Amino acid sequence: MPASALYSKLHTDSEYKLLQLDSTLLKALENEGKLAFKAAKESDSVVLCSKSNTWTLKQKNHSNTVLVMREFVPDEIPKIENWSSLDVREPSGFSLGFTKQSYELEPRLTTGEINYGTLPIYSGEAHKVSGASGLPSATCLSLEDLRKCSPCSDEEFAQKWPALGGCVVNGVACILSREFVSRALHITLMSCMAESLSFEDLDESQAFAAVNKDMGEAGEFNPFSKEVISTILGKFCSRSPLGKFKLQKETISQWYGIEALKKFASRVSIPQDEFMIKWKSLFPPYFSCDLDFRALRGYYYRPLGSCIQYFSKETLPDDPKERFSYLFKLQSTWDLDEIAPFIDQLNTKGIKIESFVMKYARRKRQGKRITVSAR
Amino acid sequence: MPTVEISVSKLGSLFQEEGKVSVYTRLGNTLLEIQGELEHPLEIPQGDTQGKFTKYQGENIIRFGLLTIDEGQKKATLFVGEKQRLLGTVVKMETPLGLLKFDHGSGSVELQDIIRYKIIFKDRPLPVM
């Protein structure tokens, strides 16, 4: 039987680590030939990114001796008599243990995130990028720096950045304020319609030219730069492989719907029928799109039966019990479909939402409708 | 940090899995797992060491045992020192392990190998008579 003599370094190398290569990682490595470790800061947890996917890494410790060895030829071949007592022949190979591992890194596929919390917010003022939530020390990063320090793959970044309202103003990556996005969207839609551009096959430069046709003539500041229009198109359109944009009317309709809720139904509740008329009135003239009230779930509640009132998810408590009791204070009985967006993020284990609500509330079935109320 | 790339330029051929069981990878690496501690001195002791300690590329190394693997590449025997014998098996890992080398000087990471099999010793050592 061939035998190999085993050696180990007295002081093993600590610069090696073992990474579990599951099928997704293996495929990414094979196709792209490279992966990148990314972290927001030196102290933050590290993620692994390919071109299109992001993995979190978990350190799985163990107490076994795991020795990674490689074949080598020692400078000094040991004498034969050392082996004779073990009833094996002279070793035919030699292996050197060069690193001992006490853990493996386990990757888990996740969705990439962009670190936009500290970015400045831009509302279209002349040459001004204001600090995020009034902070004086908002981070001024270029888009490239932001990409590098966001735990997110490049493709996910390209998709998420415009969806967040991310834009570059004066070389600084910033987030466009909601009001400014609304203004820019409105103007883009009106200008494109005025120029009879097709919403099915929109060209970025044509859209930009249309928006800027009557702007900045008297030398006044024009906030609708090419980058801003690009963000608006990225946020509200899908992109074809040829680089053309197609308007996502559902997204636009929802955006206007939330604006309408904020404008007309934030202080007092209004009947749903009346709201629909107000919602329709916000769109640019002659712009046609379907209004689907279901798209606004998660942004309103019904304090008095059929009337609706705007309500922001951000104000809800994080604790599941508290959140449910808060929601039932607002409204004693909810339709399951209407309460679901408010509690979705609590359902971390991904249980069916119907079963999940039963943990904290009472569920009733009335025909096809499922209602949820306090216990 | 914030971004470090793992380069795998050298490893194109490693992604194709070999049909047959192979304890050593094509680059000559292998993984030995013992459910227990493998203890050896960290410094060369004084006195007669029976030629166990040598140097390799300027580093002190110790010869700690002898490994035999049967022809079917299934069963392995590890002699540790001269008195202990461990019986183990060659197993295919559920997920292959990538061997990453972190170079702190240049801040780069290199995937050096993909290890698909390991030799595992789960049992208590047996005495060598």
Q: Residue A79: its chain B contacts at CB < 8 A?
A: 51
State the pLDDT at residue B109. 84
Query: Do A104 and A125 lie in a common domain?
Result: no
ipTM of the shown complex: 0.90
With CB atoms and an 8 Å threshold, state whether B66 touches A36: no
Look at residue B83 in the predicted model and tell me its pLDDT.
84
Strands (DSSP E) found in chain A: 3-9, 16-20, 34-38, 47-49, 54-71, 93-110, 121-122, 166-169, 172-176, 237-239, 245-247, 300-301, 309-310, 333-335, 362-366, 369-373
B86: which strand partners?
B78
**Domain residue spans of chain B:** 6-37+51-127
Statement to judge: residues A93 and A138 lie in one domain: no
> Using an 8 Å Cβ cutoff, are A360 and A324 in contact?
yes
Q: Are residues A237 and A126 in the same domain?
A: yes
Whether A21 and B98 lie within 8 Å, measured CB to CB: yes
Q: Which residue bears the tokens 């853990």? A: A103
Percent with pLDDT over 90 in chain A: 43
**Would you state the pLDDT for residue B24?**
83
B24 contacts A71? CB cut-off 8 A: yes
A204 CB burial (10 A radius; 0-12, 13-18, 19+): middle
Q: How confident is the model at residue A136 (pLDDT cuts 50, 70, 90)?
A: very low
Find the DSSP H helices in chain B: none
Q: Quick one: A237 and A140 in the same domain?
A: yes
With bands split at pLDDT 50, 70 and 90, how would you rate the model's confidence at A372?
Answer: very high
Distance from CA of B19 to the nearest CA of A (A): 17
> Cα separation of A6 and A91, whole Å?
9
d(CA B85, CA B77): 7
pLDDT at A135: 42
**pLDDT bucket at A88, cuts 50 / 70 / 90:** low
Contacts of A264 (CB under 8 A, 6+ apart): A270, A275, A278
Question: Region A350-366: what's the mean pLDDT?
Answer: 89
Q: Residues A130, A216: one domain?
A: yes
Count of A–B CB contacts within 8 Å?
190
Q: Which of B29, B55, B102 sits opposite A15 (nearest CB)?
A: B102
Residue A263 is assigned to a structural domain of this protein: no
User: Is the pLDDT confidence value at A83 over 70?
Assistant: no
Q: Does B29 touch chain A (CB under 8 A)?
A: yes
pLDDT of residue A128: 57
Q: Do A33 and B9 touch (CB under 8 A)?
A: yes
Q: Are strands B108-121 and B29-34 parallel, antiparallel or unpaired?
A: parallel
What is residue A250's predicted lDDT score, i.e. its pLDDT?
92
pLDDT tens for residues A11-37?
A: 999 999 999 999 989 888 888 877 888
Does residue A259 sit within a domain? Answer: no
Residue A293 lies in a domain: no
The answer to whether the beta carbons of residues A322 and A330 sit under 8 Å apart is no
pLDDT of residue B15 exceeding 70: no
Residue A279 within any structural domain of the chain:
no
Residue range A165-210, pLDDT digits in tens: 999 988 889 999 999 999 999 999 999 999 888 888 888 888 998 8
In chain A, the residue whose alpha carbon lies closest to the alpha carbon of B128 is: A86
Reported as a single tens digit per residue, the pLDDT across B81-110 is 878 899 999 999 999 999 999 888 877 888
- Whether pLDDT at A266 is above 60: yes
For residue A339, how many other CB atoms are within 10 A of its CB? 25
Q: Quote the tokens at residue B91.
A: 């197993």
Residue A267 forms part of a structural domain: no
Q: Are B86 and B126 in contact (CB under 8 A)?
A: yes
In this complex, is the C-beta atom of B42 within 8 Å of any C-beta atom belonging to chain A? yes
Last residue of a domain, one of A200, A221, A247: A247
Mutation target among B17, B52, B57, B59 for the A interface, most CBs of A within 10 A: B59
Q: Is the per-residue pLDDT at A137 higher than 80?
A: no
Greatest distance between any 2 Cα atoms in chain B = 56
Whether residue A105 sits in one domain with residue A51: yes
Q: Tell me which residue of A193, A221, A196, A226 sits closest to A209, measured CA to CA.
A: A226
The DSSP element (H or E) to which A226 belongs, if any, is helix A226-236
Q: Write out pLDDT tens, residues A211-242.
A: 888 675 666 778 888 899 999 999 999 988 88
Sort strands B84-103 and A16-20 into parallel, antiparallel or unpaired: antiparallel
| pLDDT for the residue A278 | 92
Of A90, A110, A130, the position where a domain reaches its end is: A110
Co-location of A167 and A230 in the same domain:
yes
Q: Decide: pTM greater than 0.90.
A: no
| Min Cα–Cα distance to chain B from A89, Å | 10
Residue A97 and residue A131 share a domain: no
Query: Residue A325 belongs to what domain range?
Result: 312-375
Give the tens place of pLDDT for each residue, B24-69.
Answer: 888 889 999 999 888 888 888 887 777 788 888 888 899 888 898 8
At A1 the pLDDT is: 63
Chain mean pLDDT for chain A: 86
Q: Do B66 and A11 touch (CB under 8 A)?
A: no
Q: Which residue has the tokens 């509302």?
A: A123
A93 and A135, same structural domain?
no
Q: Are residues A131 and A237 in the same domain?
A: yes
Give the minimum alpha-carbon distance from B97 to chain A in angstroms, rounded to a whole number.
Answer: 5
Residues of A in contact with B56 (CB under 8 A): 7, 72, 74-75, 96
Contact call for A6 and B63, based on CB within 8 A: yes
The CATH number of residue A67's host domain is: 2.60.40
CB A271 within 8 A of CB A228: no
Q: Which residues of B touch A26 (CB under 8 A)?
A: 15, 96, 114
Task: Please give the angle made by the CA atoms of B112, B116 and B117, to the nearest 5 degrees.
Answer: 120
What are the DSSP calls for A32-66, one per residue? HSEEEEE-SSTTSPPEEE-SS-EEEEEEEEEEEEE
pLDDT tens for A310-349 read 988 888 998 999 999 999 998 989 999 999 999 988 888 8
Q: Are residues A150 and A194 in the same domain?
A: yes
Please give the C-alpha separations between residue A126 and each of A136, A166, A169, A220, B74, in angstroms, as whole numbers. 18, 18, 10, 9, 73
Interface test with B, best of A8, A73, A102, A144 (most B CBs within 10 A): A8
Tokens of A98: 């060069």
Higher pLDDT, B106 or A152: A152
A291 against B82, higher pLDDT: A291
Instruction: Looking at the structure, tell me whether residues A133 and A206 fall in a common domain.
Output: yes
Domain boundary among A75, A110, A145: A110
Is B126 in the A-facing interface, judged by CB distances under 8 Å?
no
